[in-house]
Structure 1
Amino acid sequence: MEGTIDGFRYGVVTPVAAYLMACLGGALGLRCIVRSLIDSGSFRAGWSALGAASIGCGIWTMHFIAMIGFRVRETRIGYHVGLTVLSLAVAVAVVGIGVFLVGRRGAGRGALPLAGAVTGLGVAAMHYLGMAAMRFNGSIEYNALLVALSVLIAVVAATAALWAAVTLRGFLSSLAASLVMGLAVSGMHYTAMAAVGVHVHGATSWAGDNPTSLLLPMLIGPVIFLLLAGVVVMFDPLLVLGDGEWNRPAPKEPAETSKRQVSRSWSGG
């Protein structure tokens, strides 16, 4: 029989919390990528890796916070731990590939679409791996059109995020980009969830653990990582300044000083 899906079990709490986590991961990631672009030293790869991990963790955390609010009324839901952790690894890895491509080749016509496509497909793969990790007394069916739309949104969102990472330098610009990125990623998630249909196998509820008891322990690690990444970012002066000292032109000498130098050169001393 068809299951009754409720995607907003706790009202607006889970969508808002999920959106904020996506924005936090995006904001930290974009600032770290900006830092990697202005750092020609040995820490450049570290900043890129931290940025990729921040964005990947933010997207993954957004997904599973939103999933806490998802339920099928006829059966309880559990999650396969291995597939859930694998989805996190996929999220971080594909964002890392996208960051590496645009970081090395810039936002050119060839590199940016390729990086956006790889990253967007990876984000979609993370989502559907997370869905495959669900365990309940039934099976999931998908609306192919909405699945395709969700993948398209993921690719567009990833391309826009990578473009912002290599183009925008100001703190406020990156902040605005992270808010848009969070909205796009959340939109991708809920579009994908709208494609879900559930067929329940019989009327007996599966006696599994509730999603909150399983997901909350797994969410602790990525959330702590994002908080630590935030501390690192806030204590780096170049990132706090945004368009700060490192991006300002050298100050011009006062007119009087210039005149004195000219007169000295003509007088020979």
Structure 2
Amino acid sequence: ARAFAAIVGAAGNVVTWGAPHGGGDSRSVQQQLVDVQHVHISEFACAAIRADGSVVTWGSAVAGGDSHDVSHMLFDVVEISATNSAFAAIRLDGSVVTWGDPENGGDSSAVHEKLKNVQKVYSSSTAFAAITSDGSVVTWGASTGGGDSTAVQGELLDVQQIHANRSAFATVKLNGRVTTWGALASGGNSSHVQERLVDVCQIHSTARAFAAMQTDGTVVTWGAPSAGGDCSSVELVDVLQILATEDAFAAVRGDGTVVTWGCRDSGGNCQAVQTQLSNVR
């Protein structure tokens, strides 16, 4: 994101600042920004949901700041998700409306008929993945960012959770198994750890890697080694919680100690404060 947007006062007005072409200048739509409930910010634009379910957009026109072409469909909106340059809105009836850069998820016409009874939409930097009420998944956007899941479509059943990093997706299914797709080097390929990905209860991500926590407190990682995809140097047992930065992970264990891995400059090495990291909650 390149701008901020704050909802102020009981009237639901919006104040913006930052890069003018990234949503920091909302003067062109200021009179429409009333009764705003939520503001969603992409890399270059903003979209606000008002109390009546209508949507107001501003910022870079080609990146979702101009929703004129779909304005007649933007009603009864309950939630909005964003890639770097496109938006996807879920309506009350479970349908989805998209706009912005067509290459990065702004054009969902190829999967329009499948986008029914959608519960939630998740996003990487350039693609969307929607989970429907029957646990199936629909994807669109840049194939390099996870917009094409055809190779694993047969596995995308009974999906309970979807997680995304910058260019890949990972799902947790009802049986605790995991399915991944997207950029192979960023976690879209988990084949080398697939047999270990059982009884998964949570998945966390850095920009280019994933970490799956299992019900027994162990952790499995994959993706770019330099971004946390390789945890072979640390002991990950009795883990209660995982946190992530852009390129590193930190795990809190049952005894209150902390283990870190990934890029040193992103927090992957806590050696300097290791003695202080006790009784962490």
TM-score by length of 2: 0.20
TM-score by length of 1: 0.21
More helix by share: 1
Which structure: larger Rg? 1
Which gives a bigger RCO, structure 1 or 2 (Cα 8 Å, sep 6+)? 1
More strand by share: 2
